[in-house]
Structures are given as structure tokens and as C-alpha cells.
Structure 1
Amino acid sequence: MNQIRIKDRKELELRLPYLPWYVQQFIRHKLPDLSPSTLLEYTRDYEMFLHWMIREQLTGGTAICDVTLAELEQLHIDKIDLFRAYLTTGKENAKVTIARKLSSLRSLFHYLSQIAEDEQFFPLLKRNVLAKIEIRRTNQPKDTANRLDGKLLQEEEIAEFIHYIQHEYAADVQGNKQALYSHKLNKVRDTCIVSLILHSGLRVSEVMNLDCTDIDLSRKMVHVLRKGSKEDHHKTSVYFRQEAKPFLTEYLESRESLYCAPRKEKALFLTLPNGKQEGKRMTKRAIQEMVIKYAKRFGKPYLRVHMLRHSFATDYYLQNDLYKTQEQLGHASPETTQIYAHLTDRTMSRAIDHRRRDEPLE
């Protein structure tokens, strides 16, 4: 089981005892089908909803574990509308987040009314108010493309960003001794990570969970546990471009000496915390913050680690088809990959405008 799943599974087990018994039953029912990370998000959504019921005095209980099935049955549709309105007041709740929270609630209510049974074989929930709620799809590929347009690395900028991390960042932080020391220690690793994402389209979680044994330099391939995979030990082979190979080779040659890697540590990408004698696996947050640090100095403060994946995907889609791009990125649905069709339409449109003036039309 990868590091993120281990962490999320532990947190899930800690949260479950505080939820009503029927929610616990639903989570256990879904464990074989959904990842601990997804189920952890479900529990957070249910906690928010049940706390809201207490504040609105829609339950006689004082703790969320006391909310009964009968109280769920008595909810009117206008109360669900009030909850939806409540969600819109949260600054962190974008439309897509609100839709996801309502969708997770609907999954719970569907299970209680259509799947789970009591001892007399009757549904646990006799009336499902969430079945009356329409949840509009808000995250259309075209909308996502609109948000990303102009914020990704284009063509030569991919190589320029990698070169900047390796050769130019130090000059920009010349007066900062701590930043210079950190860069001297980590520039081979950081260049390798950014290059790998920009030449393979890996997710940050996939990069974080890589072990040394997952790298096949001769075949230009890494073995990753894909998002949504139901098998903890089944890894997918993902190719990377030739451009990433020299950086991986250099990092692998220096990994042990730079980070005092203990023999038992399998993680590919390591960090050496202050005061520690041995390196340990980099966290997802550390990789994210590393990319932000370089992006700001590079003059693209809006660039995030996931946008490196999008940058690769847009460039890859220009040279391949939808289904090859879907497979490379590990998308469950081709609809998600349609983002890059919209983005490349814009890229090609701009390319036409940059045609040399003396170039004849055929």
C-alpha cells in the first residue's frame, strides 16, 4: 500500500468511531471499491452535513454519532436546499466542490435506501430526500481548459524551466545563504523531479510514491500505482521521454551520497530534514512547495505542480491521439482527456497567427 493510502487509511479508522453506525457500515461496504483517500473525503463531507443538522436543530442529538435514520427520513427538500445554500457561503467551496459534497451525500442515502437492509429485509432508509436533488455537472472539460489557458508551459518553455532550475536559480538567490545551500543540496533531485513530470505527465502522488525499483532506465519506463486503482500492489508501466533520462541517471548516481540514504529506504526521491542523519521519502506537500518556489523566480507565480502534468499532456496531445493521451495520463474516462483537445485548439490557433509573413499559403 502506498504512503498516501497508508496515511489516509489510518485517519479514516480514527474518524469512523465518531460517525453514526450506518455511516460506518456504508464506509465498510465501499472499502473494496474505493480508495481510502476517496472514503476519507466522504467522511469529511458527512461530518460537515451532520454538524449542520445539529446547528439547525434538525436532530435531537448533541453529537454527530447520535443523528438517527428517522431524522434523515424526516428531512424535507427545502432543508437540503438550505444546506446547499450553506455550502455556497464557504470561501473554499467552489461549484465543483459543492457538487462533490452533494454527490457523496447522495451516495450514502442511495445505499441506505436501496442496498442496506434491516433484520426484516426492509431498507434502512424508507424515504430518500437526496433522490430529488439534481446535481449539475460543473467541471466540463472546456471550462477546465479555459481556466488553464495561458498558465501552462509551452513548447520551448518546458526546456527553459528545467534549465532555469539547474543553472540559473542560484544567481537569483545569490544573497540568500539558506536558499543557496538548499539549492546546492537539492538541485539534482529537483531538476530530476520537474523533468520527469514534464516528460511523462505523472501525478505528484505517483512521483512521491516511486521507489528505486520502479525505474527502468533502459526502457525509459516507471512503474506507478495509478489513481483509483483498487489493487494496492498492481502497478502500471508509464513511459517517459528521452529528455528525462540524463536527469534520472544523474540523480540515481548521487541519491545515496547526497541524502545519506539508509539501505532500508526504498523511496526514490528523498529529503534530508534539518538535524537528521538519514534521508526519508519526500512528501507530496514538499514537492508542491518546491515547484512553487522555482516557478515564482522563473516569472510564472501561478504555475503549480499539477500544471506541469497539464503542460506535458497538452504537448503530448499535439503529437498523438486522444486515446494514447488518455492511457499515458491514466485517465479513467476519455472525457477528462478532452481538456487537452480544447487547449491544443487554442495553441494551434495562436500558431497560425505566428506564421512567417513571407511563408506562402498552399
Structure 2
Amino acid sequence: MSINFQKPPELVSLEQKLKDFPTFVADYIHHKRQETTLQTAISYLYDLSTFFDWMGYTGLFTGSKSEVPYSLLEKMPVKQAMEYKAFLKDIEYIKNTKTEEKAKYKETTINRKLTAVKDLFNYLCNIAETDNLEPLMTRNVMAKIKLIDLKVEIDKLADNIASKILWESEFDEFIDFIRYDYIHRLNGKTKEVNFHNKNCERDVALISLILDSGLRAFEVVGLNLSDISFHNNKISVLGKGNKAASVPFGDVAKRDLQEYLSVRTNKYKVDPGYEPVFLSSGTGPKGEPSRLTKRQLQNIVEKYAKAFGKPNISVHKLRHSYATAYHEKNNDIAKLSKQLRHADPKTTMIYHHVNDDQRVAAAKRVRG
């Protein structure tokens, strides 16, 4: 029996991008794929791209990015490594390609980009080997570069979350806006109206699922049909660190998922057994449907959030929204931590402070 194996579009795209990088980076990314998800590996390559682009920008290497030798990384002075960290703090990037709006990286983004480079250097020093079974590199300058200290008072973090989430009372309002009201914002533009009519059930199901489970963006777009059990309202996912988990979801998401799946075959012209759950229409007359990407999911959420009047809402903020609503209803940090699959339960404590009306009221009563 022959097996018709077809690579996922994301994997094909990743392999194509790796051709622009040195071989040792491709080896590192393939190694990374063994311990994490495809989406995470793609994110690591994206963050490494900033580092290699910086090397060209500053003249540290004037050839093609794919020709950078690992010996150049091994001999990089501490001063230059520190200059890269400073570069990340000062550089502006294009936040919106349509308006050319620029912004600076947040400290969390800087740390993420530094972590990717530090992880690459660690791989080259402690995992990768030469043909003689010697470490590929013997010096790790990035081990001397510290991440930015992000110690912030938990109340400040909670206040920041509270200003950028949907409250539980807004969940249905937001979903109904997508389902019924958004189309009226398109002013009868045929192309946009047709696009919305085709994807409305998908978009509702996407957002409803996050608001009813707290799934991460890469977990949502990575879902396959075989991962969903409508019998017991659970979804099988590979979370951070490639850890398998069974995540419960609510009946509202169940209804919206089933509604989407009932039209998915006809609207996206796929076989009923085609595994990727959330699909993107192919571009052009011969475009084939494919798995929705993380970037596309983010664009979908941001589009509706802006029209809804909550432009700060992102996919991750929807996860925060779910967690806040869960804590308000159940007041059980241990169960919430398990639902969100936090490695450290202390991380979940932030949601105990997001809705702080009761604590404020108690403080006012001290001298009342």
C-alpha cells in the first residue's frame, strides 16, 4: 500500500526560508523541531533573522546571509554582542505596512529575540558536533549577555491586562458583532462582503473556541479534526515544550465549531476528512485551501477587534479574557493553572488581581 504524504504548507515555507540561512542554522531549526512545535520553530527562525540581518546592517559580515561562518559567531567580542542587545532596544520596526507606522520593540520582545540567539549559541557549543565529534564552537559569548529584568509589580501587570481584555459580559456581544454586525461596516463592497460571508462561521468558531478554552494561537491553528472530541468536550493539543494535553472547552464553542464544520467542506472545497480544522482559502484561481497560519489568525482577531472598538484585543488577550472570566466564576487558581497549562502555578496568580474591585472596596471600608 502506497502512502500519499504531503508536507504541510508551513513546513514547505520553513524549508524554503532556511535556504537563506547558514547550514548550521538549518541544523539548529531541525533540532528545535524535535523538542517543540513547527510554529515555535518558525518563530525561532524569525527572531534569528533579526540577528543575522543586524550582522549585515552593521558590516560584521558583508556576504550573503547563508554564507555566515559559525567561526564568526565563536569569535564575536562581548562588546559586539552587547551592541546587538542595544540595537534591539533602539531600533524601530514597521508595525503597520499599510500606514508605515513604526514602533519600538517591547522588552518582552527583546528578551524573546535574545533568547533565540542565546539558544542557537548554546546549540552550537553543547549539542552540534564536527565530523571529529568535537563541539562545533568552544566559546559562547551570548552566555555573557543577560536578558532584561522584567520584574514588575503584579498589580501593574494586572492593570495592564484589565485594560486590554474582553470582560465575560462582552463575550457574546463580540461574537454577535462578528456574526451579524460586522458585514454592515463593509458598505456593500462586493469583494469584502463575499469574503466575510465565506469565512464568517470559521471566524466565529476560532474566536469562540479561544474564549471558551483559553487555547494559545499556535494550538488553535494546529488543530486537526482527530484532535477534537465532541463527546466529552475535549481537545488534544501539543502545548509549549511539545507537551501533550487534553483541554476542555465549553458548550458555546462546541456549538460554534459544529456550525463551522457543517459548512467547511462546501465552502473550502475540501474532503470531509481533510485534517486541518481551520482553513484559509487559496489565493488565485487555482489556489488550494490550506491550514490557517498564526499570522492570519492574529490578523482576523485584530480586524474584528478594531471594528468592535477594542483595538487592543489580540489572540493572547482573548486567552487573558478567558482566564479572567474563569477565575471570576470559579475562584480556583489550581484548576485554572491546569486549564492554561502554566509550568509555574504562580504565573496564574495574576488573574487573582485583574478584577480587583473587591480588594479596593475592602480597603475603603477600613476607615469607613
Residue matched to 2:305: 295
Residue matched to 1:49: 51
Aligned pairs for 1:134-153 (under 5 A) are 134-138=146-150, 142=154, 144-153=157-166
Residue matched to 2:238: 225
CA contact (8 A) 1:265 1:280 kept: no
Residue matched to 1:79: 80
Aligned residues: 343
d(CA) in 1 for partners of 2:27, 2:289:
40
Query: Structure 1 stretches of 5 or more lacking a match?
Result: 356-362
1:340 aligns with 2:351: yes
1:306 aligns with 2:307: no
d(CA) in 2 for partners of 1:185, 1:65:
41
d(CA) in 2 for partners of 1:303, 1:177:
27
Structure number with greater Rg is 1
CA contact (8 A) 1:323 1:334 kept: yes
d(CA) in 2 for partners of 1:72, 1:270:
40
d(CA) in 1 for partners of 2:131, 2:9:
35
d(CA) in 1 for partners of 2:287, 2:59:
54
1:90 positional shift? 1.9
1:64 positional shift? 4.1
1:75 positional shift? 2.9
Match of 2:259, SS?
A: helix
1:42 positional shift? 3.9
Match of 1:331, SS?
A: coil
1:312 positional shift? 0.7
d(CA) in 2 for partners of 1:18, 1:259:
33
1:331 aligns with 2:335: no
1:145 positional shift? 3.5
Change (3 A) 1:80 1:267: closer
CA contact (8 A) 1:262 1:278 kept: no
1:311 positional shift? 0.7
Residue matched to 2:250: 241
d(CA) in 2 for partners of 1:68, 1:218:
54
d(CA) in 2 for partners of 1:322, 1:312:
13
Q: TM-score, normalised by structure 1?
A: 0.76
Residue matched to 1:360: none
CA contact (8 A) 2:265 2:272 kept: no
d(CA) in 2 for partners of 1:277, 1:130:
43
d(CA) in 1 for partners of 2:353, 2:60:
46
329-338 vs 16-25, greater mean Cα deviation: 16-25
Name the amino acid aligned to 2:114: L
Aligned pairs for 1:168-317 (under 5 A) are 168-173=181-186, 175-229=188-242, 236-270=245-279, 281-317=291-327
CA contact (8 A) 1:117 1:124 kept: yes
d(CA) in 2 for partners of 1:148, 1:71:
42
d(CA) in 2 for partners of 1:39, 1:258:
31
Residue matched to 2:115: 103
Name the amino acid aligned to 1:229: N
CA contact (8 A) 1:204 1:306 kept: yes
Give a deviation string over 1:182-215, Cα, whole Å, max 9, x none: 4444443333332222111122333333333433
Match of 2:201, SS?
A: helix
CA contact (8 A) 2:36 2:240 kept: no
Name the amino acid aligned to 1:98: I
d(CA) in 1 for partners of 2:193, 2:334:
43
Change (3 A) 1:341 1:177: same
Residue matched to 1:359: none
Change (3 A) 1:194 1:105: closer
Identity of aligned residues (%): 36
Name the amino acid aligned to 2:15: E
Give a deviation string over 1:247-300, Cα, whole Å, max 9, x none: 334333344444444345333334556757986544444433333333233222
Name the amino acid aligned to 1:13: E
1:144 positional shift? 4.7
Match of 1:342, SS?
A: helix
Query: Structure 2 stretches of 5 or more lacking a match?
Result: 1-6, 94-104
d(CA) in 2 for partners of 1:220, 1:40:
30
Change (3 A) 1:47 1:202: closer
d(CA) in 2 for partners of 1:292, 1:128:
40
CA contact (8 A) 2:334 2:345 kept: yes
Name the amino acid aligned to 2:203: D
Change (3 A) 1:164 1:36: closer
